[in-house]
Structure 1
Amino acid sequence: MPLHPSPRPDPSEELKAVALRLFVETSYAGASLQQIADAAGYSKSSVLYHFASKEALLEEALTPAVVRLDSLFQGSIGRIADADLRGTFVEDFIDFLLVYGLEAHIIINQGQSLAGIPIIDRATDFLRRLSDSFVNELATPEQRIRLGIALSGAAYVVATGVAMQATDQAPIEEARSALIAVVTELLVPFAAPAVTL
């Protein structure tokens, strides 16, 4: 009985994955639709069949991450300052990064240059609101700086693949555990200072 080749993945999903990778490697502005088509093994007309423009491709590629970002941050208010809830927030944040690392990289590193694109504006608005809530929630500049370094550092490590380089020898769970431990350790000093009377 002849073997059947495995079917090629859904073209739109494949194109979104390739586009995300190229948008990170060369930037959104630096990646053309032709380069995306070539990297995915399609014609440019095939890309345009699935996506009306490069902006539409970006919009479709980022939407799942931005929807998840919204739900993550909607539930984050009050969790950073509360020692019991902080651990769950850190785990949720690391899990988000492990699933949407490329998307996070694009939003964080190219957000300003991509202002005006609706999905980018939506994501940066979430980040701004989150930042505003943390400023109000955290008592000291040191706490705010610790949080910024912890979250942005984790995003950088995941987006650049530093955390994943060990996955050849170790399962993803080890990288996840290490990221959670380091971010949590950075946030340990969040305990409220003792009030003296």
Structure 2
Amino acid sequence: MAVTTPARERTRHEVVRQAMDLFQAKGYNATSLQDIATAAGCSKATVLYHFNGKPAVLAAVLEPAAADLAALIQTVDQLPRAEAQEVAIRRFTDLAVVHRGVIDVIQDVLPVIEEMPEVAGLVADGMKLTGYLAGSDDSLERDLATFAINGLLGECRHSGDRSDEDLRRLCDIALRRLLKPA
């Protein structure tokens, strides 16, 4: 097992922080490993020491949101359907607001995200969340949940002058109006 030092952890953290900023500003596809290295103040070799490629950097950028989504799924997996839907609506609204920067990054890679094994858990949990938000296995309800999620994520990306609380309230009301209770 490799020894992790505070300096290595700081470098890794800085690479992830700079990658997040660049992915948001330029997009995932338009950002190179060299761009990330330059922004982080290190060499491309240093980035590759910490990550085995740009998809691994992306996975590290998405990891906090993925962990929060996994925790939400773990919670709702234990609940009856109606209660699971309620918790999913409330907590997903919070996650979308808290992780709105990540939404920009995800939207950029969405067309190819299923081809990235580094984020397979996030994709699987996103699909599960859709089912919980739908509150049923009905295909129309699932389509409405997908529609609602996409709208909510889009609004979180481009929220204008709304405060976090205003955005939470808007998203919560929108989800409840679009989704039929289980």
The TM-score normalised by the length of structure 1 is: 0.67
Matched, 1:173 2:172: no
Deviation at 1:127, TM superposition (A): 2.5
Matched, 1:54 2:54: yes
Tell me, yes or no, if the aligned pair for 1:24 and 1:106 is still in contact at 8 Å: yes
Change (3 A) 1:90 1:130: closer
Gapped regions of structure 1 (runs ≥ 5): 1-8, 193-197
Q: Secondary structure at the match of 2:29?
A: coil
Q: Deviations over 1:112-146 (max 9, x none)?
A: 424443232222222334445667815472x3333
Q: Deviations over 1:139-163 (max 9, x none)?
A: 472x3333222222111221x2x22
Q: Which has the larger radius of gyration?
A: 1
Change (3 A) 1:191 1:120: closer
Aligned to 1:17: 17
AA matched with 1:123: L
Q: Secondary structure at the match of 1:120?
A: helix
Change (3 A) 1:172 1:130: closer
Aligned to 1:3: none
Alpha-carbon distance between aligned partners in 2 of 1:104 and 1:80, rounded to the nearest angstrom:
29
Deviation at 1:69, TM superposition (A): 1.5
Change (3 A) 1:19 1:117: same
AA matched with 2:89: V
Change (3 A) 1:50 1:185: same
Aligned to 2:127: 128
The RMSD of aligned alpha carbons is 3.4
Amino-acid identity (%): 25
Residues 58-67 or 71-80, more deviating? 71-80
Change (3 A) 1:122 1:148: same
Size of the aligned set, in residue pairs, is: 174
Residues 25-34 or 123-132, more deviating? 123-132
Gapped regions of structure 2 (runs ≥ 5): 1-8
Residues 59-68 or 124-133, more deviating? 124-133
Aligned to 1:184: 176
Alpha-carbon distance between aligned partners in 1 of 2:80 and 2:23, rounded to the nearest angstrom:
31
